[in-house]
Structure 1
Amino acid sequence: MKAYELLYIVKPTLDDEAREAVLNSIKDIITETNGEVGEVDIWGSRKLAYPIQKFREGVYTLVNFKADVEFPKELDRRLKISEDVIRHVIVAQDEN
């Protein structure tokens, strides 16, 4: 398994329960494919560099996880479909 980092931004209009539901669904996607969820860091609401879907702010969350090499493609596909996630990026971590 390889280590990855997922940073995603959700709409600022979502309440705490909806943001928690998005995070839990991402964790479920990772664990159902035999991945391991590591540290989760909620950065909170921040101003965006440019408007995305007419939003000027977003709620940032960073998720570290380990998964098979093919898994990020599937996670990327599912996050693109999600209406609550306005941006995301998945980065492979360097092995130390």
Structure 2
Amino acid sequence: MDNDAIATRMTEALAKAGGLDKSVKFDFGGEGSVFAHGTTAEVDSDKEADCTISVDKSDFIALAEGNLDPMMAFMSGKLKVAGDMSVAMGLQNIFSNM
């Protein structure tokens, strides 16, 4: 799945979940990023986010498909959170709609 497809699916999930009050950036390292705020997600934005989640794209896809538990990913170091941790904690609803 490329970043455009991730942003499209995330935009749909954000709309279903009622959007985000704060912004989040999913940083895939050398494979780009996806920035989400409100009910939209966009690819490779340079905007500052309230929370940045660093994760390999394959692990992000596993999270989105329900094949990787977010808490286990965090505890095992597959997912790193910088900034407002409460934003990351509120993403469960978004992922359940992807």
**Structure 1 length-normalised TM:** 0.31
Q: Give 1 or 2 for the bigger CA radius of gyration.
A: 1
| TM-score, structure 2 as length reference | 0.31
Which of the pair is proportionally richer in helix? Answer: 2
Q: Which has the higher strand share?
A: 1
Larger RCO, structure (CA 8 Å, separation 6 or more): 1
